[in-house]
Amino acid sequence: MNPSDYRYTEEHEWAHDRGDGTCRLGITEFAQEELGEVVYVNLPEVGARFDAGDEIGTVESVKAVAEIYTPVTGEVVEVNEAIADDPELLNEDPHGKGWLIALRFDSADELAALMDAAAYQTYLEKGEG
C-alpha cells in the first residue's frame, strides 16, 4: 500500500514532505517489486544540487540497473547511509527504512504537482507504469 501522505511520480519515485522545507525521496513498492532483489545503491553526496527530473543515483538489482530521478529541485541534505550497508532495505521497507535521500526543496509547488496516493494507484491499475 502506498502511504497516503506521500507524493508520487510516473517513474515510481516518491517524495514525503517532512514539514520543515525538506522531503525524503525513495522508490515505490511497485518499483522495488519490478527490480527484484536490490544488491547495490549509488546515491549522491550531501550538498549536491539537482533540478527536478535530474538523475540522482542508481539502484542495481539481480535483474537490472535503474536510474533514480528527483521529482523536485533542491539540495541534498541527508543520505540514507544504512542503504549502502544493507541495500535490501529497499525491498523490505521501500516507503520507510528504505528511503534514499532527503532534499531541501526549492518549491512546494513542485511537490504539490506530483500525484497523490489515489492518483498513483489509478495510474498503476491502468497499467501505465
Q: How far apart are CA 112 and CA 7, in angstroms?
A: 8
Position 1 scores a pLDDT of 74
Q: How far apart are CA 113 and CA 23, in angstroms?
A: 14
Rounded average pLDDT over 12-26: 97
Q: What is the DSSP letter of 72?
A: S
Position 44 scores a pLDDT of 97
Q: Note the pTM of the prediction, 2 decimals.
A: 0.94
Residue 127: pLDDT band with limits 50, 70, 90: confident
pLDDT at 128 over 70: no
CA 56 to chain centre: 10
Query: What fold does the segment set 7-124 form as a domain?
Result: OB fold (Dihydrolipoamide Acetyltransferase, E2P) (2.40.50)
How do the domains of the chain map onto residue ranges?
Answer: 7-124
Question: 42-62, pLDDT tens digit by residue?
Answer: 999 999 999 999 999 999 999
**Residue 11: burial class (beta carbons within 10 Å; 0-12, 13-18, 19+):** middle
